[in-house]
Amino acid sequence: MLIKKMTKIYTYVFLCGNHAKYQKILHAAMIQEENDILREKFMDSIKAQKDLYNTGKLLLNNNVVERLLIYLDPAKILNAAGVEKNEVTEEV
């Protein structure tokens, strides 16, 4: 990340020496980097679930699908993640 490695050069070349703006951009970049890492972990988890089916470890039938739909209900996932229902509606 150029912002972290060459702080002074980035600040003077791209931000005309504005250190406050640099701190703001750096903070946003760090949050984005953390979000990207967490998203990748989440996607790996979803891929692992798909691999269960693809490798034959999970055999699907009506009962299994119904139970999975109950466990994977979006409301239950948000509840497990600690997100309240009214928080989601406000963001949309």
Q: What is the pLDDT of residues 7-55, one digit of tens each?
A: 889 888 889 999 999 999 999 999 999 999 999 999 999 999 999 999 9
Average pLDDT over residues 70-92: 80
Question: Residue 5 to residues 9, 10, 26, 27, 48: CA-CA distances in angstroms?
Answer: 9, 9, 11, 14, 35
pTM for the full model? 0.70
H-only helix segments in the chain: 2-5, 7-15, 19-54, 62-71, 74-81, 85-91
Indicate whether 92 pLDDT > 60.
no
The ranges assigned to domains in the chain are 1-46, 60-92
